[in-house]
Structures are given as C-alpha cells and as structure tokens.
Structure 1
Amino acid sequence: MSPKKPFARNAWASSALGTLLLAGCATTPQQPAPGAEATAQAPAASASAQAATETVRSLGVELNHLDRSVRPQDDFYKFVNGNWLKTASIPADRARYGTFIELADKAELAMRAIIEEAGAAQARQPGSTQQKVGDLYNSFMDTQRIEAQGLEPVRAELQRVKALKSAAELPELFAEFMRDGVQVPFGIYVGQDAKQATRYIVYASQSGLGLPDRDYYFKQEPRFVETRAAYVAYIEKLLTLAGEKDAKKAAQAILQLETALAEMSWDRVKNRDREATYNLKTVAELDALTPGFPWARFLKAAGAESTPAVIVRQPDYFQAMSGLLKKTPLPVLKQYLTFKVLDERAPLLSSAFDTANFEFRGKTLQGMQENRPRWKRAVEVVNVSLGEAVGQLYVERHFSPASKQRMQELVANLREAFRKGIDGLDWMSPATKAQAQAKLAKFNVKIGYPEKWRDYSSLEITAGDLVGNVRRGDAFEFNRQMAKLGKPIDRAEWHMSPQTVNAYYSSTMNEIVFPAAILQPPFFNPEADDATNYGAIGGVIGHEFSHGFDDQGSRSDGDGNLRDWWTAEDKAGFEKRTAMLVEQYNGFSPLEAMNVNGKLTLGENIGDLSGLTVAYQSYKLSLQGKPAPTIDGFTGDQRFFLGWAQIWRGLYRDDAMRQMLLTDSHSPPQYRVNGVVRNMPEFYEAFGVKQGDAAWLPPEQRVKVW
C-alpha cells in the first residue's frame, strides 16, 4: 500500500506492507475441459444474453466473457476473460482498465454525488465537513479563477527557493517542502519501529527522482532514450512558463543532478529487503554519515525532534547524497527545487501548466490519450485530503452490515484453513510450525471502514484557494504523522480509505485490512455461488494472510517485530521454494524484450499462490464433506478457479506496462492467473490438465509454499 500521499515521491517503505494491487488472441477451437462439456464449446447451450444474465446471480461468473475457443488447459486467463479482452477498450483517460478500475469508477461516481451535494449546499457551516469538502472540490472546479491567478498561487514557494543563500539552509527548506508535499532528495515518515513495534519512530528514505524509477535514467533502449528527452523538454517547459532564464540549460542540469541521485539509489529489489533497510541511527551517527547536513536542525524543523532515533533505509545513499549536495552549484540546486515546486503544483495551476504536466506524466509515461475529466480529478483531490471524511458518508450509503458479517465468516474460515495448512506442511519442522501458528493466531482483521474516524477539525479549507488547500492538506497529514511520536500505537488507524478498491497487510501491525469498496462483485457477491466467492474474495483474503508469510512478511513475528523465528533448515527449504517461483516469473514476458522481475514481484506472487491454495482448502472445508452441485456445466472446483481468474481481467497500454514491469511489485494480470494455477494440483484435477498442455508443469517444478 501507499499512504494517502507520500511526503516525498518514492519515500514510503512499501516493503512493510503487502497489497492486493498497487495501484491490472486468436486461438484454435479445442476440446472442452472435463466436467465442463455443457459450456466449453461454442456456441454454448446457455449462451444467449438472457440465459447469461439469469445465471450470473447463481453462478457469479460472467459467462459472456468466456472465450470458448481457448482451452482452459492452455491459457486459463484467456479462457475466462478472452471475450472481454477482445471487446473491451481502455478509456482515453486511463493507462489501464479492468475490474479494479471498473469498481474504482463506480466508487468515483458515488463519491461525486456525495461531494457535489456538499459543494452545492447554500448554507455550509464554517469548519464543518460539508464546508471543507464542498470548498475543496469547488476550488478545483473553478477554472476561471485558476486561469486568472496564473503563477500567483506558488509565488511564495518559488520565492522561498530564490531566497536560498547556501546549501547550509537546506535542512529547514527540505523539512518545509516535505511538509507541503513537494519532493526533495529524501523523505521521512513515521511508522512503527520494525524491531520494536510498540513505539513510533522516524524512517528516512531515498527520493528526489522525477522519473518513475532509477532505471529510466540509464536504459538505452529507444523508448527510454525518448522518455528522457521528453522529460528534459517537460522540465524546460515548466521553467519557461515560470520565467526562468535559460530554461534549456537548467533542464539539462536538473537531469544531470537527478541522474546522479539515481546512480546512488537502491533498486526496488534491494529496497524490499526489510533487514537491509533497517539501519537504526542516533542523530550523532546520522551527522557522521552525512557531514554538513545537521539532522537535529532538520528534525526540529520537521516537528520530529522527539523521535527516539531514525531508521535509515539506504545509508550509503544518504552518505553519497550529502556529498552531492555540497558539490552541486547553488544555482543548480535552486533550479532543481524550483522545478520540484512547479512539477508538484502543475495540475493545480493554469491550463498551460496542467497541459504540460499531462503531456509528459500522462501521455509519455503511461500512454494516456486524454486527461481525466476535471470532476474526476477534483474527486481525487478531495479523497487525498479528506479521504475518511467523505469515506464515512460513502459507507453509510454504499456498504451493508450484512456484507461485513459475511466477510467476517469468510475470514474466519480462511484462518482455519491456513492453520490446518501449516500443520500439513511436509517441509517444515514442528518448531517453526509452532511459531507460524502463534503469528497466525495474532492476526488482526479490519473490514469495511474504521471504527474511529479521522478528525479533520484542524485542517483549514478556504473557498477559491486550491493550491493553498492542497498544501494545507499535505501539511495536515505530515503533521498528523509526526504527532504520533511518543504516543501509544494507534491500532484503530487505517492506511486506506473505505472507498479504495484494494486491500493490504501490515507487517508491524500484523493485520489485514479490506476497505468497503472492494467488497463488491466480481470480488464479493453475497448472492453468488460459494465456490465462486471462495475463488474471488477468498483468494483475496488468502492473499493478504499469505503476506504475513511471504519472503518479507515472514521475517516478523505475531507482535510485528522483525526477528528470525525460523530454524536454519526450514529457512533453507522456504528459500528453495521461493527461488523456484522467482525463476518461473522471470520467464514471463508481456512486452518484447521486457520480462517480469521475479525477485521484485516475489512477495505478491507468494501471496497469490499461497492465498489461492488456502482459499481452496477453505472452500473444501465449507462443503463439510458434501458434494458441490454442478452449475451451468461447471463443477464446484472449476467455479472456484473461474472466480479467481475473472477478478484479474485487465488491459494495459504499453507504456503503462513498461512502467509496471520496472516499478510494481505485482505481476501483470495474466500471470496472476496462469502463473498461479499451473502450480496447483487441484487445478490440474479440475480441468484435466495433462502433459503437453500449455498449463502443464512437471510435478517436480510445481511450487507450494504454504
């Protein structure tokens, strides 16, 4: 997961949390799968639109999306989603499209109604949620005022940079910009101490890059060379609009500075290593690490002076960064920081800035054809600054107590299946099993919405002041984080709003969290067949449980403390299995000359495989020994796998996929289906997969972790 808004781009320690999604061909007709003869041929007996509509409520699978010309034994993802893939298109204002976006669009419409209702109210009580929501939304929609203001809303921030007299003043400026949501070469946040989870502490992490990943600065393939050229042009454009002299030369200097930062930055695989990124430092040790950068001054300016210490995620980066800051000419530092202000504020400024930002960040980086409609971006701004305030209204209107109760039952069933699964592992010793069971027993579960809503009373929102409103929203969140220092752990806190279509696991809290917005079809359908629900939302629940036992989550115990609770032999057995999974996913190539990074995606791939395995066992337990009925020609086991496959249907633009492969810890959607099921013997039995089928893996190459 990522927080409401990172204090500096790339600063959040995502390795501490596992999420469901960051953030999603012509074939020859073959023989139907065993047990699916009634539906696996085209045309199917029940293939009329009317019949498909009638079966959705009982089956829970959208039959019209199935491509019956594809054998499930060869490409299960396309078998389940093929017709959707052929007929769906990515909206012009999106970089990708699929089930997550469909539900996000639905939540967005619901939020629009709530927000515009507040914005249209004639008598809004000053300081009320209605006033804040309405004025923030309206300030984004008031394009006439925004156009007339031009550069004025950021004049003070630009002047702050201009007034910088030497690098010695950077600690206070960095703290100020972090608080206001502007990127600088590193970021801080407050979280639980990974080795002492009962206390809050400051983490410091590398940041400062304007391109999505360090690799964008070095790869020599044509598309990356073109992207760097477009980035320089974008920098030059913003600086020119702001009146910067010799913007072209400044843009080159900024790229050179960021390239130096990228060279010293850790890659994303190394950043996933929770032991390597845990480096506890006193202020004196930090000062010694970064000569010339006084940390006491910086922490005081950030309001974080009460932190017991600082956990530095990439010590050598900080050491090199301090040297770079000292040798970089002051005019270049000013140009860099000026650009960071403009880049952050561009979507909030006049159309010239907004368009330039979209042309690069939307079109060039993600392949989007059009900017999102203004109202959608306005809803997003409100969700970022006032997420739980509007989330409370969303839950009241769109989430039923019955859904929460059913989810609680499913979670309990999945926990029991996971417990039995641990006991049944033939590669793990009783000593490690006991530790795993102790951790599982301490899992906390949050469903739907927070029990305690966030208090926004201190956040000032003013009519007509868009940039000021967003800046104060960022500062509110930053200050809220810093205020945790020295206080007891807030176990009621959520890191996602209820209207978010996602889910997450927190290693330091040892908890799994399911926001209300994901608890809808096709993920969760209270009126659908149990088998389908276990494959869909059951797989999601299992995925989050499994994050507690993936390659990084398994390093923490049930109290959230980073410690090794494995025997040496069991750890070796675990790593042998996960290494096999890495190799499998390394072989997947959704774009020419670009493959999935099996090490980067390992945690999520373990979550998918182990999560679906546990969900299957839970489904079988739910039958209590009774046979499952056949529905529309599909057995219960087949419906289980159909439920999993249909939640991952998705399309990506090539540029968005390119960025995903370099930056995202999740695998592309087709491999979250095909990469998983070919490791599960239950899938082979359900669909009669045999040697020679594309989904076949020799038994000795199949992976089972949990």
Structure 2
Amino acid sequence: MWSAAVAALCLSWCAPRLAAHVIVPRSEPGVCSTSGCTRAAITFSETMNVAADPCDDFYSFACGSGLKTTAEAIKMNSEHDKQSIVKNQLIEILSEPVSNDTVMAFRKAKTLYRACTNSERREELGLCPARKVLTSIGGWPLLDDNNVCNNSSKCDWNEITFKLMDVGVYSNYLADIGIVPDVYGRSTWTLMATRPGYNVDSTLAELLNEDFLYDYRRKFKHIADMLMDTAGRSASISRLDLEVAQMVDFEVALSKIAKNEDTWTNFTVDALKSRYPFVPWTAYFYRLLPSGVYLADSDVVVIEDPAFLDALQELLQNTSDRTVANYVVGRVLMEDVLPHLNAESRRAVKSFASDDSASVQEKCLDMVHESMPILTTSMYVRRHIRGEVRAEVTEMVSNIMREMRLLLQNEAWLDEDTRRAMKEKMANMKYFVGYPDQLLNDTLLDEFYSEVDVQGENLLEIVLSLSKLSFHHFCSKFNTTLAMMDWDLPITWAPMTLGQFINAQYTTITNSLTIFPGFLSDLYKPGHLDSITYGALGTVIGHEISHALDTDGSSRNGLGMLEDLWKNSDTKKMFQQRVQSIAEQFGNISIPGVTAPVNGTISRDENMADITGQLLAYRAYVRLREAKGGEEAGLRIPPQPKDGATRKEGHVLSARQLFWVSYASVYCSVYNPNLLNVELVLDRDDPHLPNIFRVTGSLRNHKEFANDFSCPARARMNPDTKRLVWGSAPSNEISHNA
C-alpha cells in the first residue's frame, strides 16, 4: 500500500517549489494567472529552497524551505497535515447536535462519540465494565492465588475464547480464525486461520534489551493491581510477579515462531482436525458462521502458515494452561477492554509509541471511525465530496491504466505467454473510487445498524455490540461468490483507519484498486492544472496499480488466485535481475548526516512501485495534454522575504517541471538526521523507506525528469544507468495498440 503520504498540499493545489538556477525553455507555453494558480504558487514559494540545485538534491529543491525553518522537528509531512484537516472535519460533524432530520444511524455514531468524550460517565463507571467482562469469561487466573486451574474450563484458552466471542471480543491472540477469499481456484469466501499480532517483537525485544520487556511487564502488573484494588486483593505480590513474567516470556516465544512466511495451504476440515487437534476447529467455525450453515469435513480451510501451527501446538504442550489463559485474558484487557474505560485504565494500557499530543476528541474520532467506518464515511462524503469528483478521478485512473497496458504491450524482454497473462490481469483489475452509492441511502444505513443499542452511554458495551455486528456481517459471506465489484466487502473499501481514509490501496487477493474518500477531498479547484493533479495524485494511483505486477502481485492472476504469471523461466530471471538492481541502488543511497543502513531489499516492491507509478502518471499526463492540444501553462513562483530583494519577478516552473515538483511535495517531510538513523534501525522491516530516500532514489531513474530540468550527464539526479523494471521502451517509440 502507498505509504500514507497523500497531502494537505492537495487542499492548496498540491503545491510544489523551484530553484534559482532553473531556466525555463523558450517554448514555455506561458504562466497561469488564475486565482487557483496564484494560491498554488504562493504555497510552493513557502516551502521551496530556491538555492538548491534540482539536478543534485531535488528533495531540498522541492521541500528545502521547510527543512531549513524547522530543522529540529522529528518528522513533519503532508500526510500529517492532510489527516489533521480530515480529522477536524469529522470531529465537527460528530460534535454537531442531533436534529429531527438526523438519520437514525448517524444518531448512533454521534452517541458513540459523545459516550467516548463524556469523561464524567466513564469515570463514574470506572472498572465495572471490565469486571463484568471478566465475570462473563470466568476471570483472570493471576488475580486469584486459589485458582489453580483444577477446573479445566477456567484455564482452557479455547473455552475462554468462546466466552469472549459471546460478549463481542473476537481478537484471538493465539491464532486468528475467520474467512478470506479462496485464492486457489474457487471464487468464494472460505475459512482461514492466520498468525495473530504481538506486542513483543522478538527482534525488537533483543534490540531494546531488558528495558522494553520490563516496561511491558510493568503494564500488566499495573492492570492487575487496579483490578485487585477494586475487587479486594487476592493474589500475592510474589506470585503476581512470577505469573506476569511467564506471560511475557510466552509472548516472546510466540513471536519467535511467527516467521512471517506465508505459504497459504489448503486443508480440509477433516485434515485440519487430524493434524492440529489442539484446536476444536468445528466448534470454532460454527461460532463464526451464520446459524443454519452446514460444514462438511471436506470443506476447505486456508492456513496461512502451517509451520506456525505446528510450532504453536508444540509450544502449548510445553506451557501451563494457566500461563496461556493469563496471556489471552491479559491481552484482551490491554487492547480490547481498558482502552474504552476511565482515564486511569487508558493510562495503564497506553501504547509504547502512543502520541500523548492527541486530544480526547481525536482519540474518540479514531475509535468511532474504526467501529463505524460506514457511518463516518457516509457523513464525510455527504458534506465534503463533490459528486463529479468520482467521475474525474475515474477518468484519471483509466488514463493511467492505459499506460500500464501500453508498457506491457511494448516491453521487448517479455515473452508472449507472460505478456498475455499480465495483460489479462490488468484487464480484470477493478477499481473503486471514493464511495459506493449505498452510503447515500438512509434506509440501508438504518437497517444495517438497527441492532446496535447505544442507550446508557456505556462506551465498552456499545463498542462490543458493534464488534458483534461487524464480525457476523463479515462471516455471513462464507461460501458466497466473491463479487469483484461488491462495494459491500469490508476488505475492499471500508477505510478502517484514518490513515487509509486519505489513501489509495491495491488489494492483491481481489485484484482491485480502491481510492478512499479522503483522497478526493478538495482535490480539484476551478481551472486546476493537470500537471499538479497527475504529479501529486496520479503518481499515487500509478504506484498502486503497479503493485499488481510486483514480486507478490505477479504470483496471482486477474481473479486474485495464486498463479505464477511468469510463464518463461528466462523472463522471470530478467525480472528478478531488474528488481535486484533497484534494491542495490536504494541500498546505496547516501543522505548527509544519515549513517544507518538502508534496507533496499525489503523495500524493493515499494521502490519499484514509486518508479513505475511516476512513469505511468507522467506518460498519462503528456498524452492527456496532447489530446487537449498541447502544453498547459506553468506557474510563476513569487519570491519570499528570505530570498532577498533581488528576485522581484520570482521564478517560473514549466508545466512538466511542475509535475515532478508536485510529486515530491506529497512526500515533503522534516527529519532530524539523528532520529532518522534510529528510524531506519527500528523500522528496518518496514517496506516503505523514509520519504527523503523515496524521492531521491526514484526520480533519478527517469530520463524525462532529467530532460525537464536540463540536468547534465552524470549529475546526482541523472546517473548514466536508469533502474527500470517497466518502461524500457521510450514513450515516443511505442505502439498504441494496447
């Protein structure tokens, strides 16, 4: 997925910037002087470093003014600005009083938000909601020295999990069980089991040593102390210390057996029960599936990583039931229960990386959006998205998709069978732009949320009720046909986080591109420049489209099912060599002040998508302008006071230069080099490199970029060797019969 960097600059014309020495060619079509262009030019001027040489350091050229003026900031970028704007818009909507005309479903979303922001009610309830959950599931063993798990159901993690599902908690911290699209040949939703997530990463624990684990253990002990103090202390301190240590050690062991090696293997229900008897699979499945559904022993279950289940089975055999039960209940309290209670509870479970600067309103918005994404999205698009925007963006997607097909048609190194398979996949790709029309249907929304009870403003109870609704709605799709254009699929369109809300995303298992609503907000202004739109947003769309043919995407066909699209081993080897070349290039990027190594291998697909997305959007833009009759106007960037009085006229960016600067503006960030070194170490498994590496590394691979800025040969941004996977044929030499 694109690394969440679509920008606030979209709200101010996706603004770019320019350098002092740039000379616009005599063939420059002119300068745009509309009010929109004037606003965009001012925005560019506020963030550009006009002293930088774009052929040497394009990142400073496009983003350098911010780098100079806020050099001590840890990280600031356009994504943060964009999210802040969208958050404020949603908070305003949720905070507005209910009127007689308010849709019933919207009233429930507003009630949930009010319950979250109502600190008096949350303090009044205290830990009572948590104790109610514990009573329902049989308690937390470590709170009671006398509970020695003689009663097997008290410490049976399966029984505890079943009881948690009954109250609305579906998080399974040993193995995630649910449904997914069948990727092996049937276009239906099928049962699956995957690895869960862990708070303790084994490599991170080693890196941060004992301090990290000490803080984690202390959190669990504090939670236990709170619950015992309100219910009467029962466990001894020494016993509590021991059991918490055993819990955390168990989680570390779990993280070590989760190797992140997806092998996605089909099992029949019967084979699954035979190989992994430690899980009562049939009981699990019937709790997930709608009543009346019959499950045969021959039905298929997709297992993400059979080796993980093998190792989990052995680990559980060597771990006491009490420790496993303590771990499961402890994780549920920390992540599913206490975050919705009073201030002390929230402080106790605060994430290691949480942002204390977030307001109560922002945190409650995040919670409401994650619980009711359909409603927050519906309210947002009704207020902030113009209806015609979807058609305009759909046209841009079509233009960029056409360029991808042209690349495939003209790649000389592809064999014909591979070319045919890849063109077929691109032809089958579906795209969802903005939102489904169902979000504008009040009756459908009211029906969907009809069973949600928001009376009493007990936040935890409302959240658990919504959890039940969403989970059962999702699982009701079992054995139904996988409709590739079904907007109702949560994994297809529902933006579960605000990071997704302002984003675009390619989904491999459905071969679909989704452009979420926040991506569209204030996207177009009257008289907008195509160069800005295609540079800032078209490159993002191209990035996501290109993921369909990256190292993972090329292993699935147009229906999202597993199929190697490389039909010739020699062709596949050439692809791998090209990808490796990009990995090596990014691994050798040098940024002043940054000494930490760059992982060019793990980031190779994202870097390849950046490079390809830029090329697709650029060619689509050029072809669009040809269809419209020629080059569009550029922008005159006004001088800023810091530039001195010598530049009275400012600088002019040509339209094509504006394309590249608009792209970089999406990724403008401010970094402290020392903290950037830390980030590269801690996030070494993140496929998205820090923004400065993405811009610097990708643009140097385009001769079009070098030509537009008249970069001399062998300049830092114009090396002799261009690392391209796709697009080796020049755009003016390709056939247009795709």
TM-score above 0.5: yes
Shift of 1:495: 2.9
Shift, 1:526, TM fit: 5.9
**Aligned residues of 1:52 and 1:64 also touching (Cα < 8 A):** no
Where 1:194 maps in the other structure, the secondary structure is: coil
Quote the Cα distance in structure 2 between the aligned partners of 1:181 and 1:593: 43
Q: How does 1:268-347 map to 2 (within 5 A)?
A: 270=261, 276-303=262-289, 308-344=299-335, 345-347=337-339
- Unaligned runs of 5+ residues in structure 2 are 8-17, 141-148, 229-234, 440-444, 637-651, 728-738
1:113 to 1:473, Cα distance in 2 relative to 1, 3 A: same
Does residue 136 of structure 1 match 2:112?
Answer: yes
Change (3 A) 1:526 1:281: farther
1:519-534 to structure 2, matched below 5 A, reads 519-520=520-521, 527-534=527-534
| Counterpart pick for 2:434 among 444, 448, 454 | 448
Counterparts of 2:401 and 2:194, CA distance in 1: 34
Q: For residues 53-86 of structure 1, give each alpha carbon's deviation from its aligned partner in whole angstroms, at most 9, with x where no partner exists.
A: 8744566962211112322122212211121234
Normalising to structure 1: TM-score of the pair?
0.84
Q: Is 1:468 matched up with 2:461?
A: yes
- Tell me which of 631, 640, 643 is aligned to 2:635: 631
Structure 2 equivalent of residue 511 of structure 1: 512
Q: What letter corresponds to residue 259 of structure 2 in structure 1?
A: W
- Would the aligned equivalents of 1:206 and 1:317 in 2 still touch at CA under 8 Å? yes
Residue identity opposite 1:515 in structure 2:
F
Aligned residues of 1:104 and 1:501 also touching (Cα < 8 A)? yes
**1:672 maps to what in 2?**
694
Q: Using the alignment, how far apart are the partners of 1:385 and 1:696 within structure 2?
A: 48
State the match for 1:62 in structure 2: 44
Relative to 1, partners in 2 of residues 1:527 and 1:666: Cα closer, same or farther, differing over 3 Å?
farther
Tell me what 1:121 maps to. 98
What letter matches 1:333 in structure 2? Answer: V
Deviation at 1:306, TM superposition (A): 5.5
For the 8 Å contact 1:442–1:559, the answer to whether it is kept is yes
Distance 1:189 1:62, change over 3 A: farther
Residue 169 of structure 1, aligned match among 156, 174, 177: 156
For residues 381 and 225 of structure 2, the distance between their equivalents in structure 1, rounded to whole angstroms, comes to: 45
Residue segments in structure 1 that go unaligned for 5+ positions in a row: 1-17, 40-45, 271-275
Secondary structure of 2:549's partner?
A: coil
Matches of 2:613 and 2:62, distance apart in 1: 20
Question: For the structure 1 residues 54 and 526, does the alpha-carbon distance in structure 2 shift closer, same or farther, using more than 3 Å as the test?
Answer: closer
User: Which AA in structure 1 matches 2:224?
Assistant: L
Residue 47 (structure 2) pairs with residue 83 (structure 1): no
Residue 180 (structure 1) aligned to one of 160, 169, 178: 169
C-alpha offsets along residues 631-650 of structure 1, whole Å, 9 cap, x if unaligned? 32222221111111001123
Provide closer, same or farther for how the CA distance between residues 581 and 116 of structure 1 changes in structure 2, counting only shifts above 3 A.
same
Contact persistence 1:679–1:704 (CA under 8 A): no
Aligned to 1:357: 349
Q: Distance in 1 between matches of 2:319 and 2:108?
A: 42
Matches of 2:513 and 2:369 in 1, distance apart? 22
**Alignment partner of 1:373 out of 359, 362, 381:** 359
CA contact (8 A) 1:186 1:205 kept: yes
- Are the counterparts in 2 of residues 507 and 556 from structure 1 also a CA contact under 8 Å? yes
Deviations 1:390-444 (A, max 9, x none): 3212111110122222112211211222221212212212322222222222221
Write the distance in 2 (CA, Å) between the matches of 1:256 and 1:421: 51
* Letter of the structure 1 residue corresponding to residue 549 of structure 2: F
* Cα separation, 2, equivalents of 1:284 and 1:35: 71
Tell me, in whole angstroms, the C-alpha distance in 2 between the residues paired with 1:570 and 1:234.
Answer: 53
**CA distance in 2 between partners of 1:484 and 1:201 (Å):** 9
Shift of 1:353: 1.8
Correspondence 1:479 to 2:472: yes
* 1:97-140 alpha-carbon deviations (Å, 9 max, x no partner): 422222222121221122122xx327699x92133112211111
CA distance in 1 between counterparts of 2:433 and 2:99 reads 35
Equivalent AA in structure 1 for residue 479 of structure 2: G
Task: Note if contact 1:422-1:437 (Cα within 8 Å) is conserved in structure 2.
Answer: yes
1:110 aligned onto 2:89: yes
Check conservation: 1:386, 1:456, Cα contact below 8 A. Answer: no
**What is the SS of the residue equivalent to 1:242?**
helix
1:71 and 2:69 matched: no
CA contact (8 A) 1:542 1:612 kept: yes
Match of 2:79 among 100, 107, 113: 100
User: For residues 208 and 512 of structure 1, what CA distance do their matches in structure 2 show?
Assistant: 26
Partner of 2:647: none
Whole-Å separation in 1 of the counterparts to 2:164 and 2:259: 23
Question: For residues 289 and 695 of structure 1, do their structure 2 counterparts lie closer, same or farther at Cα, with a shift above 3 Å needed?
Answer: farther
State whether residues 609 and 676 of structure 1, in contact with CA within 8 Å, keep that contact through their aligned partners in structure 2: yes
Amino acid at match of 1:68: V
Given the alignment, which residue of 350, 368, 377 partners 1:382?
Answer: 368
Kept after mapping to 1: 8 A contact 2:701/2:724: yes
Tell me the distance in 2 between the aligned counterparts of 1:595 and 1:315: 33
Q: Does the CA contact (< 8 Å) of 1:61 and 1:532 recur in 2?
A: no
Q: Is the 8 A contact 1:181 1:471 kept in 2?
A: no
SS of match in other structure, 2:371: helix
**Are 1:172 and 1:298, in contact at CA under 8 Å, matched by a contact in 2?**
no
* Counterpart pick for 1:605 among 604, 607, 612: 607
Residue by residue over 1:616-662, the C-alpha shift from the partner in whole angstroms, topping out at 9 and shown as x without a partner, is 11111112173444432222221111111001123468499368724
- C-alpha distance in 1 between matches for 2:480 and 2:42: 46
Structure 2 partner of 1:238: 223
Q: 1:315 to 1:240 in 2, by over 3 A?
A: same
- Of 447, 452, 463, the match for 1:459: 452
Tell whether 2:178 aligns with 1:189: yes
Structure whose alpha-carbon radius of gyration is higher: 2
Contact 1:183/1:208 (<8 A) preserved? no
Kindly state the Cα deviation for residue 696 of structure 1 after the two structures are TM-superposed: 3.9
Question: CA 1:185–1:484 in 2, change beyond 3 Å: closer, same or farther?
Answer: same
Residue 203 (structure 2) pairs with residue 201 (structure 1): no
Aligned partners of 2:75 and 2:669 also within 8 Å: yes
Amino acid at match of 2:329: T
C-alpha distance 587-337 of structure 1, shift in aligned 2 (>3 A)? same
- Equivalent residues of 1:445, 1:513 under 8 A apart: yes
Counterpart residue number, 1:3: none
Offset of residue 300 of structure 1: 2.2
SS of the equivalent of 1:261 reads helix
Matched residue SS, 1:286: helix
Among residues 378, 383, 399, which one is paired with 1:392 in the alignment? 378
Relative distance call for 1:284 and 1:657 in structure 2 (3 A) is same
In structure 1, the residue matched to 2:551 is 551
Alpha carbons of 1:663 and 1:115: their partners in 2 closer, same or farther (altered >3 Å)? farther
Tell me: CA distance 1:30–1:517, structure 2 relative to 1, closer, same or farther (3 Å).
Answer: closer
Aligned pairs for 1:688-703 (under 5 A) are: 688-691=710-713, 693-699=715-721, 702-703=723-724
Going from structure 1 to structure 2, the CA distance change for 1:639 and 1:385 (only over 3 Å counts) comes to same
Deviation, structure 1 residue 209: 1.4
User: What's the CA shift for 1:611?
Assistant: 0.9
Residue 213 of structure 2 corresponds to: 228
TM-score w.r.t. length of structure 2: 0.81
Q: How far off is 1:174 after superposition?
A: 2.7
CA 1:186/1:87 → structure 2, altered by over 3 Å: closer, same or farther?
farther
Aligned to 1:505, the other structure's residue is in SS state strand
Query: Aligned letter for 2:53?
Result: R
- Change beyond 3 A, Cα 1:660–1:123: farther
| 2:668 aligned residue | 649
Query: For residues 242 and 80 of structure 2, what CA distance do their matches in structure 1 show?
Result: 40
Equivalent position to 2:132, from 156, 162, 177: 156
Secondary structure of the residue aligned to 1:74 is: coil
Confirm or deny: 8 A CA contact 1:59 1:532 kept in the other structure: no
Distance 1:72 1:245 in 2: 66
% identical equivalent positions = 21
